[in-house]
């Protein structure tokens, strides 16, 4: 068996079972940004999460897992392995976030600023300091409607800070934040805008680090999901509105039996009479 799969963000997978050894499954993943983040915690996170399942990468793939089916004794172990495989991309990308959040949590020396391309239209920037790590997303959407909805959503993130004081400070705008000058970005780049999250140590304490990482690394997918849901909702409302308008129009139609012949006339009160 040799199956190739493609994700929406240019990530591709390959699942292989070779004929000479049908008890072993190999799962490979090609992640466009892996070369950028491999040495910044991703490889370490990947190896820590999968341990003995880690294998030499397939040709043209960045990471590969090898699962020996004979070692899975019951359904519980099978389910655990399936869940691990499904989180392959998440565990790889989580490593780079963990790489910059760990010094903040442990009181270590801040690392140098860093950026990587999460996908073709999204770049993530890290700006570590002694008391915070500012994570900035440079986001763009191809479709005009998606851009309009995304701008509304990201402005709502900024507004939410006023009512939820425990949430990280959020800023959004077309102009790049001052930190971006480190990468020589001082003018608008033509994208939708820049949204920044300032993560403090208090947001990571009490075993909250994994949750923060999980939320930030899927932020772009989170936005896309809600945009699609909103568009579906709008379309459903428009369909209902069209149906109601058609119902009104159908009610206004005059049936054939109700039409008057040339000799029939109606009075102002609605009575019908026949002119002789």
For 129-183, write each residue's pLDDT tens digit: 999 999 999 999 989 999 999 999 998 888 877 777 677 889 999 999 999 999 9
**Two structure tokens written together for 198:** 């300032």
In this structure, are 141 and 241 located in the same domain?
A: yes
pLDDT of residue 276: 63
In this structure, are 121 and 199 located in the same domain?
A: yes
User: Burial of 130 by CB count in 10 Å (0-12 exposed, 13-18 middle, 19+ buried)?
Assistant: exposed
DSSP-derived secondary structure for 250-263 = HHHSPPGGGSPPTT
pLDDT of residue 261: 63
What span, in angstroms and rounded, lies between the C-alpha atoms of 55 and 59? Answer: 12
Domain CATH code at residue 169: 3.30.1460.20
Query: What's the total number of domains in the chain?
Result: 2
In this structure, are 252 and 176 located in the same domain?
A: yes
What span, in angstroms and rounded, lies between the C-alpha atoms of 243 and 249? Answer: 10
Phi, psi of 126 (to 5 degrees): -115, 130
In a domain, 267, yes or no: yes
In a domain, 254, yes or no: yes
Q: What is the DSSP letter of 131?
A: S
pLDDT of residue 271: 75
In this structure, are 153 and 273 located in the same domain?
A: yes
Q: Which residues have C-beta within 8 Å of that of residue 189, sequence separation ≥ 6?
A: 138, 176
In a domain, 213, yes or no: yes
| Dihedral over Cα of 256, 259, 260, 262: its sign | negative
What span, in angstroms and rounded, lies between the C-alpha atoms of 10 and 74? Answer: 35
What number of CA atoms fall less than 13 Å from residue 149's CA on the CB side? 19
What span, in angstroms and rounded, lies between the C-alpha atoms of 84 and 145? Answer: 36
* Domain's final residue, options 53, 86, 119: 86
In this structure, are 114 and 251 located in the same domain?
A: yes
In this structure, are 10 and 42 located in the same domain?
A: yes
In this structure, are 46 and 150 located in the same domain?
A: no
What span, in angstroms and rounded, lies between the C-alpha atoms of 93 and 38? Answer: 9
**Two structure tokens written together for 83:** 């869940």
pTM: 0.83
In this structure, are 29 and 149 located in the same domain?
A: no
What span, in angstroms and rounded, lies between the C-alpha atoms of 202 and 167? Answer: 10
Domain that holds residue 195: 110-276
pLDDT of residue 275: 66
Q: In which residue ranges of the chain is pLDDT below 50?
A: none
Phi, psi of 264 (to 5 degrees): -95, 140
Question: Do the beta carbons of residue 53 and residue 84 sit within 8 Å?
Answer: yes
Q: State how far the alpha carbon of 31 is from the alpha carbons of 7, 16, 64, 86, 191, in Å.
A: 10, 18, 11, 14, 23
């Amino acid at each position: 068996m040799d199956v190739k799969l493609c994700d929406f963000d240019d990530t591709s997978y390959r699942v292989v079972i070779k004929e000479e050894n049908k008890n072993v499954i190999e799962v490979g993943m090609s992640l466009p940004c892996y070369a950028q983040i491999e040495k910044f915690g991703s490889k370490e996170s990947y190896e820590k999460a999968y341990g003995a399942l880690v294998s030499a990468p397939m040709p043209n793939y960045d990471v590969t897992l090898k699962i020996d089916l004979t070692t899975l004794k019951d359904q519980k172990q099978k389910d655990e392995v399936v869940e691990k495989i499904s989180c392959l991309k998440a565990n790889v990308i989580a490593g780079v976030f963990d790489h910059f959040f760990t010094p903040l949590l442990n009181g270590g020396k801040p690392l140098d600023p860093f950026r990587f391309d999460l996908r073709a239209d999204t770049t993530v920037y890290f700006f570590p300091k002694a008391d915070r790590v500012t994570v900035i997303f440079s986001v763009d959407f191809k479709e005009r409607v998606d851009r309009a909805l995304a701008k509304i959503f990201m402005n709502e993130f900024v507004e939410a800070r006023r009512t939820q004081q425990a949430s990280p400070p959020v800023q959004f705008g077309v102009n790049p934040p001052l930190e971006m000058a480190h990468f020589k970005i001082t003018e608008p780049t033509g994208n939708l805008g820049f949204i920044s999250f300032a993560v403090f140590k208090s947001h990571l304490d009490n075993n909250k680090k994994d949750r923060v990482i999980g939320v930030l690394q899927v932020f772009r997918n989170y936005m896309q999901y809600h945009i699609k849901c909103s568009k579906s909702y709008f379309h459903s409302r428009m369909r209902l509105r069209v149906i109601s308008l058609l119902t009104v129009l159908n009610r206004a139609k005059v049936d054939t039996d109700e039409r008057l012949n040339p000799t029939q006339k109606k009075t102002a009160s609605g009575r019908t009479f026949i002119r002789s």
